[in-house]
Amino acid sequence: MKTSQYIDNQGQRIALFPGSFDPFTRGHESIVRRALPLFDRFIIAIGVNADKRSFMTMEQRKAWIESVFKDDPHVEVRTYSGLTVDLAREVGAQFIVRGVRLIQDFENEKHLAEINRDLTGIETILLYTLPEYSHISSSIVRELVRYGQDVSPYLPEGADTSILQSKD
């Protein structure tokens, strides 16, 4: 493989970090911050997951993530529906970045990476969650919110938790 296949026609390495991010946690933020130095442009893509009932609206999630990375011009936040590889092609991404917390995540991500490479040639880069964030998941945060617990330790610093507190 030639290195040039991993650079777009403007000389940029573009990565796509897809997920439902409902909500975006410190674990997600850590993956982004650790991956940023590897790429010229980093797109956080909030996807519609038909198998999940949304906790936050797409607009709330987008605004939340944009506020976390407001000072980083290399980060862009988008919403999408459909296949992740279709969005990757649309934005010219050569890489998909995914976070792995557990061995089950690795198995699932390995299969997705192989399919995505077969379909498009796009490579997937897996970053392991730092140990201090490995127990944090969006579903755990949602559950804690439902029971009125303080979730601020699991969310990016300065995140507006009032959006979450109003949930049933």
Q: How many Å is the Cα radius of gyration of the chain?
A: 16
Q: Verify whether residue 13 is a known catalytic residue.
A: no
Instruction: Let me know: does 93 contact 43? Beta carbons within 8 Å.
Output: yes
Cα(85)–Cα(70) distance, integer angstroms: 26
Cα(33)–Cα(147) distance, integer angstroms: 30
Partners of 128 in the beta sheet?
Answer: 100
Q: Which of 20, 26, 28, 137 is catalytic?
A: 28
Cis peptide before 23 (omega within 30 of 0): yes
Tokens of 28: 């997600």
DSSP reduced 3-state for 135: coil
Q: Which of 74, 78, 101, 117 is catalytic?
A: 101
Q: Which of 52, 110, 111, 146 is catalytic?
A: 52
Q: Verify whether residue 111 is a known catalytic residue.
A: no
Q: Verify whether residue 74 is a known catalytic residue.
A: no
Q: Which of 20, 30, 137, 138 is catalytic?
A: 138
Q: Verify whether residue 28 is a known catalytic residue.
A: yes
Give the catalytic positions in this structure. 28, 52, 101, 138
